[in-house]
Amino acid sequence: MSRTVVHLLRHGDVHNPEGILYGRLPGFWLSDIGVRQAELVSVHLGDHDVVHVVASPLLRAQQTAAPIAARHGLTLLTDDGLIEAGNLFEGARVSVGDGALRDPRNWLALRNPFRPSWGEPYREIADRMLAAVYRAQARAAGHEAVCVSHQLPICVLIRHLAGQRLWHDPRRRRCALASLTSLVFQDEALISVVYSQPAVARA
């Protein structure tokens, strides 16, 4: 029997002095804290059997993945399936509890929390993330892979794998910056999901 681990790593802290929802916008890089987080995760994974490192095409994910790939002597690859969720509010200052629901200009975009109507449907996010995980699993069969992605896509995938409803309260997500959500497979079967925050533990 073959054991394969696919680590889903959320990118590190981002330089965002304006506090906007940056989504898929280009040009958002890791802050000094984020760079440190990425290095700490690479140290944590240094003695793991990592043979495949892949990241979302967005800069912050690429920067988070780079020290892991370098430590293991691997070429960093890109998978569009790991990208951040699309969002109509990119470039705006919108966050949970900031009053966006009370602004009539936003009502049309916020009319359906189940789809969601403000961006990429949850089911589409889950499907592309699952496909990316399976690609990584195949590339790293019998070893370990690291997939660097973003909070919402990781959380939606985990909810999908757990058989939970995909719409949820974003304030209750368990996916901190630079956290690892590790999917453990025995052959093709997912046998466990392990969450950890190595950057916090080593800070």
Output the pLDDT for position 66.
98
Pairing of strands 77-78, 3-10: unpaired
| Domains of the chain by residue range | 3-17+29-85+121-202
Output the pLDDT for position 169.
77
Q: Positive or negative CA dihedral for 139, 140, 142, 148?
A: negative
Q: Are 28 and 165 in contact (CB under 8 A)?
A: no
Output the pLDDT for position 107.
43
Task: Name residue, tokens 């073959």.
Answer: 2
CATH number for the segment(s) 3-17+29-85+121-202: 3.40.50.1240
Mean pLDDT per 10-residue run, the chain (203 residues)?
Answer: 96 92 91 98 98 98 98 98 85 59 52 62 95 98 98 96 85 92 97 95 60
Task: Name residue, tokens 């959320």.
Answer: 10
Q: Are 62 and 147 in contact (CB under 8 A)?
A: no
What number of other Cβ atoms are within 10 A of residue 78's Cβ?
16
- Residue in 137, 171, 139, 131 with CA at minimum distance from that of residue 155: 171
CA distance 122 to 86: 10
DSSP state of 171: G
**pTM greater than the 0.75 cutoff:** yes
Output the pLDDT for position 110.
53
